[in-house]
Structure 1
Amino acid sequence: MATLTIRNFDETLKMHLRLRAAEHGRSMEEEVRCILRQELAKPASEYGLGSRIVSRFSDVAGDLPLPERSQPRPPIDWDEPS
């Protein structure tokens, strides 16, 4: 079995975890294991981050106008004298 150490654990979060563990009649360690099992058992999102951002904000932003595209500047010819 592996051991996991969590540093800089917020005291308020620890208190909430302790209360939740007590409500379920478990130790804090067992409560953390159950939380991790539940969260990691959920299926991964089928959409990438960009798709999720678009779907989340599409109602607010609507369609934004895209600026006109222009041709990029030609590369500098370093061999040509100025």
Structure 2
Amino acid sequence: MRDGHAETCRKYNLSPSLLRKWRLKYLSKGREGLKDSYPRVDPQLRALEEENERLNGTAHAANCSKTGFRIGTAVADHSRASC
């Protein structure tokens, strides 16, 4: 690598192979090639989704107990509930 690459690697604490990889992506696809290849999920959104799943599970268990079914037991009439 040229001196400029070595300086850049030292300045930003990058390995030369990573800088080379980014450079090749940039040369082949432009700025679009440097974007994330996977969608990022906002941590707050993820926390809300997990809480929603937890609450839905709690509501599902409460609904099953109201109908007389217990989670983890066999259900005689499959058309009534899916607990």
TM > 0.5 fold call:
no
Higher helix share: 2
Question: What TM-score, normalized by structure 1, do the two folds share?
Answer: 0.31
Question: What TM-score, normalized by structure 2, do the two folds share?
Answer: 0.31
